[in-house]
Structure formats: C-alpha cells, structure tokens
Structure 1
Amino acid sequence: MALALDAGTKLWHTPSKEAWITIARAGHVEHHPVRGKEFRVWLAGIYYAKKGKPLYAQALQDALTVLEARALFEGEEHEVHTRIAGRDGNVYLDLARTDWTVVEISPSGWRVIPAHDAPVRFRGGRHQSPLPIPEQGGSLAPVVELLPLKERRDLALVLGWLVGTLSPQGPYPILVLAGEKGAGKSSVGRMLKCLVDPQMAALKAEPKDVDALMVGANAGRILAYDNLSKIAAWLSDALCRLSTGGGLGKRELYTDTDECVMEAQRPIILTGIGFGLLRDDLGDRVAMVNLTRLEDGERSPEREVWENFTRAHPQALGAILNAAALATRRWDEVRKAMPSLPCLADWAIWAEAAAPGLNLEAGEVVEAFYAVQAGLSQDLLDNDPVAMALLLLTADWPEGHRETFTASDLLSALEGAMDLKDARVKPENWPRTPQGLGRHLPRLQSALRGAGLKVEGVRDARIKRLLWVLKKGGNKSGKSRKQASGLHSRPRDLFLPYPAKSRISRTNPASAKRL
C-alpha cells in the first residue's frame, strides 16, 4: 500500500461509491477501479520492481482493502464516463489511446489535450479500440463515398445520427439499417460505430436479456446489434429505455437487500433484413434507412474498403468534431428557431445546430426524421387490424364528428365494422376482451392522429370507468414539418466541410461509390 501511495497516486470514488485510483505512468495519468485488473497488475508490478519478488494474494487483498477504504472515506467524488462526457458547455471525447489523450470540443473549436488537463474522468474499457488523432479541417467526403446511400434523406438521417453520438446528453435515435441480403448493412453499421466508438467485436448478436444489454452499455458508447430478424417485446421496451435514458436494478451478489444499479443512455444501431411491425413506442425513436442490394459490379473487396476507411478516418473524425463544435455554438440559436419540436427534441436541436458543418440544409435532418415517422405510422395503420377497423368505422364521419364509447361498446362496434361478430377465427392481434382493447389503443393513438382520427381515453368520475372518445379530424395539417418547426434554408456560404461534388446526388445515385 505504501508503494502505491508513494507513486503519486490519487484515490477517489464515484457517486455510486465505487473506489477508483488515478496513477501516473509514462508522462500521463490513468484512471482505474481499485478492484480492477489493470490496477492490480500495476500494483503487483511496482512491488516486484521494488522488492524483486511477487506480491502474494493475501498481501494484495489487504492492500486493496485499505486503499478502497481511503478512496471511499477520504477521497473526492467524481463521475466516471465512457467515451463521451460534458462539462460547462464543452464536450470531451476519450480517444482511448495508450497516452490517454482526450479531445476537448468547445464553441470555438476542438483540441487534443492530455487526460490530466480534462475536468472529466473516463474509464478505460478493456475492449475499447483507440481512435486516430483527428485532423483539423477534416472532411467527411471520403467516408460518405464508402456508404451505399442512394437517397439524400438517408444521408441526412445517418449524418444527423452520427453527430448526435457526440452529444453528451440524450435522448438518442435508434439507427435501423434494413434491407435485403447483400445490401452492405453490416459494413455500414460497423463503419459508423468505428468512426466514433471503435471496439473489439463492434457488431454483436442480439442480447439475451436486459442484463446483457446494460453490461454492453456500460462497456461502450454505441451499441450495435447485427442481423436481427425481429425485435421481441422485452427488447423493444429495453431499447426505448436505453435510447431516452434508463437503468437496471438487481440484487447485489451475496446480499439480501442491497441493490446494484446500472444507468445508461446510448446511441444504438440495429441491422437486419426485416424487422416486422415495430411497436409504436420504439417506432417513435427510430431513424430507419433502407438499403438496396449491391450489384456485383458495384462491390469492392472488404479489405480494400477498410483500407480506404482507415486512411479517411482521421479526416472524417475531424469533420465530425467540427460539426459538434458548431452544435455547441449554435444550440441556443437553433432552439429559438424551432418552436415546434419532434420526439427526441434534444437530439433534433443538436443535429440541426450541427447541420451547416455536415453540408446539410436547415431543417433537413428533422424533415427526414418526420418522413421516417410518417412511414412507420402508415405501416402500423396498414398492418394492425384494430387500426384498420377504427378507420373503417369512422370513414363516413363528417369532419369534427365525435362519439364516446365504453371499451365494450367500442369493441363491438369494431367487430361490426370488420364483419367479425360471428367469425370463429379473428385476425392475429385482435383483442379478445374490452380490457385487451383498452391496452391496445394507446399504441395506436399517435399513428391514428396523423391519419386524422383522434382517439382519447377519458376517465368518467361519475360512473368510475374509462371511456374512449373518437373524433374525426385529428391533427392533420397541410403545412410541412420544416415550416412547422420554424427552420428555413440557410445561406449558401455556410457550406463548410466537403465540396458539393463529393456529396451523394439527389437525382443520380450512381455518383456514390458502393461498398
């Protein structure tokens, strides 16, 4: 223990009462858990260098116990972060390099600084891979050319999601890369993750439970799950919590009443051929990009693609950092210009504030996100039998007409509209009871509102039961989402990071080099 203290270490603890230590090594500082493997190896190493013999297990445990007590009861309290942190309006990116350098992003730009100059502390993940030193004045063009994106809307969504990963506070959209086999979904997902948060096994299989999901969130900044065929209900709910912020509480090992809590908010990537119908709450958080199969003449060897990516990575990272610095500078300005905000409002403001640095028009990211939401809502209306029955029931209602139903009466009316009263076999997912209908309707409210039908549950205090009010007219509007948000096209001189000729053409998809 004396050797550790004499080596210039500093003991501290996290708000969750986990003991940590800061050690000086090779001209830089490192932060490690007192009970972690890295510190135990370091402690055994300096003991061997001083004494010429190994540090035996019991002596090691005794030293760790004393150091842990000092950290908990005498040390300062600091939060520990994974890859990204925010402090006093600045953003800090951990490069995860052996010299523990950090990028400081401020409204005036960004710079690379040593860890001891950063006001935040990062955990060194065992499976984290280092980022390259970013280049000032970088460009995203070489990486964009590697992405098989055919639509301008897809480019806006991907870049908006990408710069959003550098926001220290969520919520974050869930980027869904869908398409037939051979469309490059896995390659695109791996590339986007590696741009900001490279890691061993960058793409992982579907987690088996919520515990596995939260362990992954604790170890990395971006969660990327590959080749999903469907999204189970429990996983859909867990991804929603992770996108907007949530935690996991479970009994701590070897205790009866103590609780171990893990809390996280993370950007997410999902890839798959077909996900089926997404639950409404998950759909509200999804930025979906549909990729098409690459023809044989459009393919490049994977080795060649990753060699090009590695060369372009420092430039691309510098360009993303430029955009993030712009976002910190313009956030208040853009917030005032957006009186109407979509779901994931904080991300939308951040992405729109960064838009000039990404060579995107004002309002383009939000417009693309709204278009995806509209498509997912239409999918829900086209595939959910209750939604179809509601639209059929109200098809002849005049504008502004409203009716009130009990759940039992509404279920009967819907069965009549669908000619199901005497049917022995009813559609899949059709509610069998009024209670089942009451649980199903809240998942349809948002999509139905966009289709011009407002469905609202109202508690009647007199009869002490929930009534359902249907009103024709909903929330339809002929005004575009961009107009509603208050955003307008920006001046042309704000195009910053890469020349227009390198952008994917809106009318000529062939201008983009494919994977």
Structure 2
Amino acid sequence: MSDEEKTPAREVITDYAQAHFRYFRTADGTVYAQRNGHPVARPIRSQGTTGSHRQELMVGLYRDGCGVFNGTALKEALDLIEALALTEEVQSVHIRVAPGFDGATWLDLGRADGQSVRIHPTGWDILTPDPREVCWRRTQLTGELPLPARDTDGKGIDLLLRLTNFANAETECLALAWLIGSLGPSVPVPAPFLTGPQGAGKSTAGRMLVRIIEGMSSDLRRAPKDEENLVAAVAAGWVTALDNLSYMTPDLSDAMCCIVTGAENVKRALFTDGDVFRARYRRPMLLTGIDVGVIRPDLAERLLPLRLERPTVRRTEAELWAEYAEVLPVVLGSLLDLTVKVRAAEAETPTDLRMADFAHLCAQLDAATGFGSLAAYRRSLDDLNDDVIEGDLLAQTVLQHAESMEAGADQRMTSTEWLHNLSRLYSGEECRPLPKGWPTTGKVLSDRLKRLQPTLAARGVLIDSGRTHEGRYLEMTRQPASAPAEQQPAF
C-alpha cells in the first residue's frame, strides 16, 4: 500500500477512541473520557500519576494491535475528540459519593472493577453503576474500601465504638450522625472537632472515622498554609481531615466555613489571559487538636465537638490497625444498614439551628434508634457559644451591658454611641486600657456585632440594625427569661 493510501494516524486513533470510550463534558467545560461499561472517568488533558486518558489510550492501541503512535498524532486526535465532546450533553463527575436515580445515592469503593454501593430507600446493593447514572473521578487520595459485610445485625457499630475512646454516649451518637451525613452527597454536615487531653487518641480516632469512608490508605494531614492549597486538597478527595490544629487564622477559619456549607473558587485558567477556572466544593471535614484558641462565631456554628478520654489500656499501633482492618467490612456494612434505616425515618426539621439539614438527620437518627443525638447536638452548640464568648471581650461586655437592662427592654443608639458606652463599661472605674483588637470605630463595632449576632442571640440578647431619617442605628433587646432565643435575620 502506498503512503497516500494509508489512513492518517490521527484518524486511526480517533476511530479507536470513539469505539472504546465515551466522551462528555462537565458544566465547567472539562472533557472526560469513560471506557465503555466502566464508571470511572478521566479528564483527557490530565497528566496525573493516577493514570491519564492519554496513557490509557496508548496502552489500548498497543494491546489491540493498532500500533504505537507518536505524540503529534495523539495530540491532534485528542484535540479533535475534545472539540467534538464539547457538543455533547453535560454530565457531572463525582468523588466517592454521588446522587443516583430514584432517590438513591452511590458510594465509590475505589475498586479497579468499578463496583460501588447503591444505597436506596429499601436497602443497599453492591453493583457496577451505569456510566450514564454515575461517573466517578479518582485521584491519589481515592483509597480502596473493602466489600461491606451483610447481615451484621449492627455489631459493626459496637466494634467501632470499642476501638475508639469517645468520652460518653452523646459523643458516640454525634460521631455516627456525622458518618451517616458524610454518605449523603447533598447534606452539609458540621466538621467534627476531636478534642481531649494529650494521649486521648484523637488522631487515631480521627483516622478510624475517615477510613470508614476513604479507605485504609487515607490519613490526616497538616493544615495548608494558604487557602489555595487547602482548596486543592479539598477538591482531590471527599473527606478533608486536618490533624493537630493549635491555631486557626481568620483566613483559614473563613475557608473552613466555605468548605462545610459550599462555595466556589474562581481563578485564572493556566496559559490564558481572559479565561477562568471554576472550582465548586462542599466537603465533609474533620479536625483534631487540644485547643485552637479563639473560635470565630461563624465557624462555631459549623463545628461538632467530639471529646475523647485517655484509654486505660494501651495497645500497639500494629495490633490496633490489624484489628481495625479486619472489622472494617463489618463496620461499613453496619453503617450502611443504619443509614438506610435513618433515611427512612420520619422526623420534623428543627427550624432554629443553622445546620438544619444535619439537625434533621439527628432527629431521624433519634427516631430510628432512640438515641438523643439532637439534644446532644444542641448542647454541643451551647458549649461552643460559651467558648466564643470566653474568647471575645466585646461579647462579654455586651452581655454585661444587657444584664443592666430590664427583661424585654430594648435600647437604640448609633454605632458610635454604642462604641463609646461599651468602651466606658469595659474600662470601668479603674480606667483600664482597651484590649488589642477592640473596635476603633462605629463601623468596626457594627461589623463585629454582625459576626456575634447568633452567639448573643443564644444568650437572649438580640442585635438589630436599621435606618431612620436621622441616620443608621443599632438596637439591643434583652429577651424575657421565659422566651427562647430565636435566630434573627441577618443585618
């Protein structure tokens, strides 16, 4: 055959690729390749070490006797495939957890054969999902989970709790509620903060909770130094676990709030001047540490403190993790059984808590098992409010001022007048100097009170703002002792 009669290499590659793979795009324009009949999808431009589509395509061409092609032919073929895929329908890709058809959800087991767990209203099954229902995206952080055991009769939950050092039954039921919530693709869950004395096994317990969902290869990580690295770590996995936190900067605190409840990050696309790259993320988080210092009010509403106690009997790491690996299939099976049972339970949604979805899940867990997880969750929020107040001198001064007001009374002043009165109250007769970080202007005071509004409302002090013909004002109201503190609308 003459050179003119030979089929160009790029056409051979394109024909082979379209015969063996399905190509589609996501909402952000990224084109993915999915081998026919397999649920795992890879971005065609990826050069990652977990296996790029380019490598997958080269291996397939070689093994099927099509030949070995140079980089130019592969690039031209992939360019054409990418252009064609941009006309296809949009489909989402998911890491670890995904929504399915008919109210089902999926859990990726991270296996090479693509087998996953389908959690549906009447039970759960181990299946290979239809590629058009679920597309899994995997990274180096995607560990493999064992096949969950069936007919465990709930003993996996007891095995898990026996291996951990949770301080009481309230902490245990909150940990279970978080695990169930982490199996849901659309339910924001607060971030467990494992605390306790030195030697309480906080890191070990954190690893155990995370590895139920992320596999034995997952581990805790140090907090990144900046938000960009944190977002990159979050985007590459499902559960983000940060170990041994001792201090939390305001930027890290704000980033964690966004991760728990969901946000979008936009930055300039590489090698372009006018295009951008969008990264949406909402992930379960887990934190460990003895003390992180002052907790900001907005983060406090998104935390779930889980206290541990020092074990009375110490075990070697090898012995502990060998037992954990042995019981993990039973633990996972029991967690799936409990998840099905909880999702089927009917319960009212509390309307006074910010994380309403998680509060509803706690109510469902109580209805299904008889636990007191919702009451425990409320008490944990009260404890966090106490921590916020103890670490904020402005909040303490506002509450001190509110004590001088009659129950049900309100007081209205400008923010500058409030700053003068609160500063004078703090200084007292001793004229002690104002502390570092004290508001210096009425605007700064107003902004600080906006952050403290939920914390103060939980203590019966309501802060509101408005405007009259004379100008803007701040109003403080002390609720009657018998009236429950309700969450007020934002400024």
TM-score, normalised to structure 1, is 0.85
CA distance in 1, matches of 2:197, 2:237: 28
Q: 1:348 aligns with which of 343, 351, 359?
A: 359
Aligned residue for 2:45?
Answer: 35
Which segments of 5 or more consecutive residues in structure 1 lack a partner in the other structure?
480-515
Q: Aligned runs of 1:71-220 on 2, under 5 Å? A: 71-73=85-87, 75-87=88-100, 88-116=102-130, 119-138=133-152, 139-198=156-215, 200-220=217-237
Using the TM superposition, give the Cα deviation of residue 445 of structure 1 relative to its aligned residue in structure 2, in angstroms.
1.8
CA distance in 2, matches of 1:155, 1:412: 47
Q: Which amino acid letter does the alignment assign opposite residue 429 of structure 1?
A: G
CA distance in 1, matches of 2:179, 2:53: 34
CA distance in 1, matches of 2:222, 2:176: 24
- The answer as to 2:328 corresponding to 1:322 is no
Aligned residue for 1:463?
Answer: 470
Alpha-carbon deviations, 1:212-243, whole Å to 9, x = none?
22212221110000111111101111111111
Query: CA 1:261–1:475 in 2, change beyond 3 Å: closer, same or farther?
Result: farther
Aligned residue for 2:58?
Answer: 44
Quick one: higher RCO (CA 8 Å, sep 6+), 1 or 2? 1
Aligned residue for 2:479?
Answer: 473
Contact 1:323 / 1:356 at 8 angstroms: preserved in 2? Answer: no
Using the TM superposition, give the Cα deviation of residue 149 of structure 1 relative to its aligned residue in structure 2, in angstroms.
0.8
Q: 2:31 aligns with which of 7, 15, 19?
A: 19
Alpha-carbon deviations, 1:89-115, whole Å to 9, x = none?
111111110111111111100001113
CA distance in 2, matches of 1:385, 1:191: 38
Please say which of residues 264-273 and 123-132 is displaced more in the overlay.
123-132
Please say which of residues 87-96 and 1-10 is displaced more in the overlay.
1-10
TM-score, normalised to structure 2, is 0.89
SS in 2 for 1:20: strand
Aligned residue for 1:496?
Answer: none
Using the TM superposition, give the Cα deviation of residue 50 of structure 1 relative to its aligned residue in structure 2, in angstroms.
4.3
Q: Aligned runs of 1:354-369 on 2, under 5 Å? A: 354-355=365-366, 359-361=369-371, 364-369=372-377
Using the TM superposition, give the Cα deviation of residue 292 of structure 1 relative to its aligned residue in structure 2, in angstroms.
2.9
CA distance in 2, matches of 1:342, 1:424: 38
Aligned residue for 1:272?
Answer: 289
Count of residues in correspondence between the two structures: 465
Query: CA 1:319–1:474 in 2, change beyond 3 Å: closer, same or farther?
Result: farther
Q: Which amino acid letter does the alignment assign opposite residue 266 of structure 1?
A: R
- The answer as to 2:391 corresponding to 1:383 is yes
**Pairwise CA RMSD:** 2.3
Using the TM superposition, give the Cα deviation of residue 386 of structure 1 relative to its aligned residue in structure 2, in angstroms.
1.4
Contact 1:412 / 1:421 at 8 angstroms: preserved in 2? Answer: no
Query: CA 1:185–1:140 in 2, change beyond 3 Å: closer, same or farther?
Result: same
Alpha-carbon deviations, 1:28-65, whole Å to 9, x = none?
55422222343211211123234586432222212211
Q: Which amino acid letter does the alignment assign opposite residue 350 of structure 1?
A: L
CA distance in 1, matches of 2:451, 2:310: 33
Query: CA 1:406–1:356 in 2, change beyond 3 Å: closer, same or farther?
Result: closer
CA distance in 2, matches of 1:375, 1:416: 29
Contact 2:99 / 2:106 at 8 angstroms: preserved in 1? Answer: yes
Contact 2:165 / 2:310 at 8 angstroms: preserved in 1? Answer: no
SS in 2 for 1:140: helix
Please say which of residues 348-357 and 153-162 is displaced more in the overlay.
348-357
CA distance in 1, matches of 2:300, 2:203: 21
Contact 2:423 / 2:434 at 8 angstroms: preserved in 1? Answer: no
Q: 1:439 aligns with which of 436, 441, 447?
A: 447
CA distance in 1, matches of 2:206, 2:320: 14
Which segments of 5 or more consecutive residues in structure 2 lack a partner in the other structure?
1-12, 486-491
Q: 1:293 aligns with which of 293, 310, 316?
A: 310
CA distance in 2, matches of 1:348, 1:187: 27
SS in 1 for 2:427: coil
SS in 2 for 1:256: coil
Contact 2:244 / 2:289 at 8 angstroms: preserved in 1? Answer: yes
CA distance in 2, matches of 1:476, 1:289: 30
Identity of paired residues, percent? 29
Aligned residue for 2:4?
Answer: none
Q: Which amino acid letter does the alignment assign opposite residue 329 of structure 1?
A: A
Using the TM superposition, give the Cα deviation of residue 346 of structure 1 relative to its aligned residue in structure 2, in angstroms.
1.3
Query: CA 1:112–1:194 in 2, change beyond 3 Å: closer, same or farther?
Result: same
Contact 2:427 / 2:433 at 8 angstroms: preserved in 1? Answer: no
CA distance in 1, matches of 2:322, 2:357: 35
Using the TM superposition, give the Cα deviation of residue 478 of structure 1 relative to its aligned residue in structure 2, in angstroms.
7.1
CA distance in 2, matches of 1:33, 1:302: 38
Alpha-carbon deviations, 1:235-259, whole Å to 9, x = none?
1111111111111111111222211
CA distance in 2, matches of 1:216, 1:191: 20
Q: Which amino acid letter does the alignment assign opposite residue 39 of structure 1?
A: H
CA distance in 2, matches of 1:43, 1:192: 37
- The answer as to 2:265 corresponding to 1:254 is no
- The answer as to 2:427 corresponding to 1:419 is yes
CA distance in 1, matches of 2:421, 2:375: 37
Using the TM superposition, give the Cα deviation of residue 12 of structure 1 relative to its aligned residue in structure 2, in angstroms.
1.4
Q: Which amino acid letter does the alignment assign opposite residue 79 of structure 1?
A: S
Contact 1:403 / 1:470 at 8 angstroms: preserved in 2? Answer: yes
Using the TM superposition, give the Cα deviation of residue 159 of structure 1 relative to its aligned residue in structure 2, in angstroms.
0.8
